[in-house]
Chain A
Amino acid sequence: MNGLLPDLDVIRKDFPILERVLDGGHRLVYLDSANTSQKPQVVIDAMVDHLERHNANISRAMHQLGAESTEAFEAARDTVARFLNAPSRDEVIFTKNATEALNLVARTFPLGPGDRVVITEMEHHSNIVPWQLATERSGAELRWFGLTDDGELDLSNIDELLVPGTKVVALTWVSNMLGTINPVAEIARRAHEIGAVVVLDASQAAPQLPVDVQAVDADFVVFTGHKVTGPTGIGVLWGKAELLNALPPFLGGGEMIATVTMEKSTWAPIPSKFEAGTPPITEAIGLGAAIEYISHVGLDAIHAHEQAITGYLLEGLATVGGVRVLGPLDASKRGGAVAFELAGVHPHDIAQLLDSRGIAVRAGHHCAKPAHKRFGVQASTRASSYLYTTPAEIDALIDGLEYTKNYFKV
């Protein structure tokens, strides 16, 4: 198969969990990486090593361990900055996850009556709800890009949506439900013409595509650590320095101030301004190790692998009677997540049957209810691959679907 990672066996050995044998003696077939990715040994080791040998609070500890911890934490910021091709390391803000990063922007970005925010019908709830709250609070208007029948953004009314007065265009780079890869650079160009800022949710893009914030000319980009082989509890907001400098603080507390008096406080420069309190230090270090790891494999190579596996998955699904794939049928337009329906069997039941054979998929609305509604489905089953996924695992899924059909006699 063209495009597969050449050292797939070696890569799989990096992920100890892939050896896991589940109840009933089934070897794990993990097809839920769009939900959260598995972790390579280097990430686990980096976190354990930090906790065993270097643990201390950062910035404020005047001792050797404090210096080591601070250095490791800030090195992770450098790694993220390189990964995103950010012009400055100070533009990289550590958050708890993508959700918190999106809330940070939606909560602090100045909006008022007459302003407009444009999002899309394929957003994850974390890029919908914060904007609903922000527009309700400010009196701004919330508008949506619709979707075409094959699951792409419908840009036919872009001139109507992106009008002067539009302050924010927020969209996902890769859809977690439809898999669609969106033309984010083109949309950023159009948004900038009318003076809007562009917020990109790269939660599904960062794991599998080269993300270059300058090449796409975004204003804010967020992603979440646990989907790029890093730990949970850490996410990233990147923003252009002049925009971040202009925003008010999000959370108040320690580390984010320049000075505090009883009358008034002043803010530290970025990134500290947006990192109140003790950050997730071990998690940031784990994220740094994760990004080093996937960068070493190479994002172009991972992307090619994902497309090869996704193409094979789409071919396999086409052989199963009663399957309807949601989103583009052309693997080159997709990331490595495929949601589908199977006539006569509810996604929960599919997931349960697959689980009984050691195959982990996701069933439900995948936090994308508007996108499901757009396609007239209440829930779907989603199989999602990553750099460790093999064609044999796709075969196991397809067999599992046939078994499911038999079991439910459909």
Chain B
Amino acid sequence: MDLDSLYQEIILDHYRSPHHAGLRDPFEAEVHHVNPTCGDEVTLRVHLEDTPAGTVVRDVSYDAEGCSISQASASVMADLVIGQDLDVALSKHEAFLTLMQGKGQVEPDEDVLEDGIAFAGVAKFPARVKCALLSWMAFKDAALQVRAQGEPA
């Protein structure tokens, strides 16, 4: 297996200095997700705001413990969704999920996933796909919880 296709420089950069890390206020939902097979964990908060133009993801903050792939993925995810309309953010989640489940056959769209395209190689390592998806799944869960609460008012 080609290691450098897995450990792209962009991934290692995000791993060494993750963006938006740490837990912050305010937030409307906090979730805790674990990868039961390996024990990777993430606690993640989302702060959404209703605007005339729609619901906007104002902040995503997180505390993640895990490997380089899961840490870098949280960093890239936060970069991608913060400041976006919630529907756009969720569509980026869809695009990332499709990429990860594509067994290396899916061509990622850089306009949608930006630094996230560096994870294309991860899809060829089935054992690591869950690492890459952990924080994305947590984000989606938290965002949908807020939506279900009907918050923010």
- B3 is an interface residue with CB less than 8 A from chain A: yes
Complex formed: what's the CA distance from A372 to B39 in Å? 10
Residue of A23, A346, A365, A378 touching B68 (CB-CB under 8 A): A346
- A156 is an interface residue with CB less than 8 A from chain B: no
> Known: A348-B67, A349-B67. Is A379-B38 also a contact (CB below 8 A)?
yes
Complex formed: what's the CA distance from A352 to B15 in Å? 16
Assess the B67–A369 pair: CB atoms within 8 A: no
- A230 is an interface residue with CB less than 8 A from chain B: no
Determine the interface band of chain A, counting residues with CB < 8 A from chain B. 10 to 19
Assess the A352–B65 pair: CB atoms within 8 A: no
Q: Which residues of B contact A369 (CB under 8 A)?
A: 39
> Known: A378-B65, A407-B7. Is A348-B38 also a contact (CB below 8 A)?
yes
Assess the B68–A379 pair: CB atoms within 8 A: no
Q: How many residues of B contact A (CB 8 A)?
A: 19
- B46 is an interface residue with CB less than 8 A from chain A: no
Complex formed: what's the CA distance from A408 to B72 in Å? 14
Assess the B39–A346 pair: CB atoms within 8 A: no
Assess the A364–B128 pair: CB atoms within 8 A: no
- A359 is an interface residue with CB less than 8 A from chain B: no
Least CB distance from A63 to B in Å reads 45
Instruction: Closest B residue to A347 by CB, please name it.
Output: B67
Complex formed: what's the CA distance from A257 to B11 in Å? 60
Least CB distance from A350 to B in Å reads 9
Residue of B1, B3, B41, B128 touching A348 (CB-CB under 8 A): B128
- A88 is an interface residue with CB less than 8 A from chain B: no
Q: Which residues of B contact A221 (CB under 8 A)?
A: none
Q: Which residues of A contact B41 (CB under 8 A)?
A: 378
Assess the B3–A364 pair: CB atoms within 8 A: no
Complex formed: what's the CA distance from A95 to B39 in Å? 28
Assess the A365–B39 pair: CB atoms within 8 A: yes
- B149 is an interface residue with CB less than 8 A from chain A: no
Assess the A363–B38 pair: CB atoms within 8 A: yes
Q: Which residues of B contact A379 (CB under 8 A)?
A: 38-40
Q: Which residues of A contact B66 (CB under 8 A)?
A: 346, 348, 378
- A266 is an interface residue with CB less than 8 A from chain B: no
- A356 is an interface residue with CB less than 8 A from chain B: yes
Q: Which residues of A contact B37 (CB under 8 A)?
A: 364
- A353 is an interface residue with CB less than 8 A from chain B: yes
Q: Please provide the chain B residues from 1 to 59 with a CB less than 8 Å away from any CB of chain A in the complex.
A: 1, 3, 6-7, 12, 37-41
Complex formed: what's the CA distance from A363 to B68 in Å? 13
Residue of B39, B71, B125 touching A352 (CB-CB under 8 A): B125
Assess the A349–B68 pair: CB atoms within 8 A: yes
Assess the B67–A23 pair: CB atoms within 8 A: no
Complex formed: what's the CA distance from A272 to B119 in Å? 53
- A90 is an interface residue with CB less than 8 A from chain B: no
Complex formed: what's the CA distance from A79 to B65 in Å? 46
- B131 is an interface residue with CB less than 8 A from chain A: yes
- B69 is an interface residue with CB less than 8 A from chain A: yes
Interface string of A179-215 (1 = CB under 8 A from B): 0000000000000000000000000000000000000
- A24 is an interface residue with CB less than 8 A from chain B: yes
For A347, A352, A364, A379, which residue has the most chain B Cβ atoms within 10 angstroms?
A352
Complex formed: what's the CA distance from A337 to B49 in Å? 52
Q: Please provide the chain A residues from 371 to 410 with a CB less than 8 Å away from any CB of chain B in the complex.
A: 372, 378-379, 407-408
Q: Which residues of A contact B39 (CB under 8 A)?
A: 364-365, 369, 372, 378-379
> Known: A346-B66, A352-B6. Is A364-B1 also a contact (CB below 8 A)?
no
Residue of A353, A356, A364, A408 touching B38 (CB-CB under 8 A): A364
Instruction: Closest B residue to A377 by CB, please name it.
Output: B39
Q: Which residues of B contact A292 (CB under 8 A)?
A: none
Complex formed: what's the CA distance from A383 to B65 in Å? 22
Complex formed: what's the CA distance from A349 to B131 in Å? 11
Assess the B38–A352 pair: CB atoms within 8 A: no
> Known: A348-B128, A365-B39, A369-B39. Is A23-B1 also a contact (CB below 8 A)?
yes
- A355 is an interface residue with CB less than 8 A from chain B: yes
Given contacts A346-B68, A379-B40, A407-B3, 5 further A-B contacts (CB under 8 A): A346-B67, A349-B7, A352-B125, A365-B38, A379-B39
Q: Which of B's residues lie within 8 Å of A, judged by CB?
A: 1, 3, 6-7, 12, 37-41, 65-69, 71, 125, 128, 131
Please give me the 8 A-B residue pairs with the lowest Cβ-Cβ distance, nearest first.
A348-B67, A346-B67, A364-B38, A365-B39, A356-B3, A379-B39, A349-B68, A349-B67
